[in-house]
Amino acid sequence: EVQLQASGGGLVQPGGSLRLSCAASGFKFDEYAIGWFRQAPGKGREGVSCISSLGGSWYYANSVKGRFTISRDNAKNTVYLQMNSLKPEDTGVYYCAKPRSQAGSYYYGCVNGMDEWGKGTLVTVSS
């Protein structure tokens, strides 16, 4: 059974930092792209950042470029999202996801959505 568990969310002041983790199991982790998505209150889900299976390529939404960094540790079956200089508009539930197939592109998946999702973690940026 595929499992994707996001953690690390919380309440942080504007300008602060958080690191999210996505722990995966139930599939051959190093063969799949993984993505981070978020859903703000009253809005649709958007792709924040996605990374290729071996970690050599990545995508960032324009709204987070220069502030967020995605990485993965295939030995630990975990993907991270380091979020710095957080803004109130970064508030939302953050999910990690994977495509159904090993051939699924990190870029296409980030722009168009992925197929298998974990439960999210809430990030609240507020003073």
pLDDT, tens only, 31-61: 999 999 999 989 999 999 999 999 999 999 9
What does the pLDDT read at residue 104?
87
What does the pLDDT read at residue 35?
97
Contact 20, 9 (CB under 8 A): yes
Contact 22, 79 (CB under 8 A): yes
What does the pLDDT read at residue 13?
98
Can you read off the two tokens belonging to residue 71? 């990485």
Within 13 Å of residue 67, how many CA atoms lie on the same side as its CB?
17
Q: What is the pLDDT averaged over residues 7-21?
A: 98
Distance CA 91, CA 101 (A): 30
What does the pLDDT read at residue 110?
92
pLDDT, tens only, 56-105: 999 999 999 999 999 999 999 999 999 999 999 999 999 999 999 988 89
Distance CA 62, CA 4 (A): 25
Distance CA 52, CA 95 (A): 17
